[in-house]
Amino acid sequence: MPEIDAHYFRHLYAQGDDPWGYRTRWYEQRKRALTAACLPDRRYASGFEPGCAGGDLAAVLAPRCDRYLAADLEPTAVAAARRLLAELPHAQVRQLSLPDGWPADGPFDLVVLSELGYYLGAEGLTQVARQARHSVQAGDGVVLACHWRHPIEGCTLNGDAVDALLHHTLALPRLLRHEEADFVLSVWATDGRSVAAREGLV
């Protein structure tokens, strides 16, 4: 079902455990800061981030969760993420692939889909969106998605198409959509109120 299989990522990670430069590029550092700032709540009970790569975003978001599950299908990425998150005992890193490997230890009130959707293809992404919606609808939940807008070799979806498919399938209130030339970031929530409204300011 996924358009890009495990061999693609195995080849990428053969060059090192940070093939996208998550640790070194200002673009990635800035995008992580924006991602964290866009979350509407200060804390979450349980977060899930599939496709976590080396765990750089997880290291920013896990401290805001009581329990955090990061996952990736590539063993090199899993090992790197475990090293990075080793000092966060409430954070777990697991090897799994989506859509069939969606974890049974939910529900989650935060699901993070970062730079993942296009690799799944339309069918796989639709299934993942339904799984995310089911998970967060068990309570007061949030789905965050951030994706590269430029074409990706081997993928039929770009970031805009991923964002549109998620919006249609999740069928949840969208709290924000942040668009730049390079990426699009959206947040959906079961509670459609603004951050100010959540704090009783309006």
DSSP codes of every residue in 118-187: HHHHHHHHHHHHHHHHHHHTTSS-EEEEEEE-S--TT-S--HHHHHHHHHHHH---EEEEEE-SSEEEEE
Domain coordinates in residue numbering, the chain? 6-198
What is the chain's alpha carbon radius of gyration, rounded to the nearest angstrom? Answer: 16
Tokens 């590269």 locate to 148
Of residues 17 and 197, more confidently modeled? 197
The total number of residues shown for the chain amounts to 202
Q: Is the pLDDT of residue 198 over 60?
A: yes
Whether pTM > 0.85 for this model: the answer is: yes
CATH numeric code, 6-198: 3.40.50.150
Q: Cβ contacts of residue 101 below 8 Å, gap of 6+?
A: 71, 73
Of residues 144 and 138, more confidently modeled? 144
Sign (positive or negative) of CA dihedral 116, 84, 97, 42: negative
* 61-to-34, 44, 69, 127, 131 alpha-carbon distances in Å: 12, 10, 11, 24, 21
Query: How far apart, in whole angstroms, are the C-alpha atoms of residue 71 and residue 53?
Result: 8
Q: What does the DSSP 8-state code read for residue 112?
A: E
- Residue 99: asked if its preceding bond is cis (omega within 30°), the reply is yes
Q: Is the pLDDT of residue 4 over 80?
A: no
Percent of the chain with pLDDT over 90: 81
Query: How far apart, in whole angstroms, are the C-alpha atoms of residue 148 and residue 183?
Result: 4
Percent of the chain with pLDDT over 70: 90
Q: What does the DSSP 8-state code read for residue 41?
A: S
> Sorting pLDDT into bands at 50, 70 and 90, what band is 130?
very high
Mean pLDDT of 45-68: 96
Annotate 14-39 with DSSP letters as a single string: TT-S-TT-TTT-HHHHHHHHHHHHH-
Query: How far apart, in whole angstroms, are the C-alpha atoms of residue 13 and residue 9?
Result: 6
Please return the burial class of 16, using the count of CB atoms within 10 Å of its CB with bins 0-12, 13-18 and 19+: exposed
pLDDT of residue 1: 46
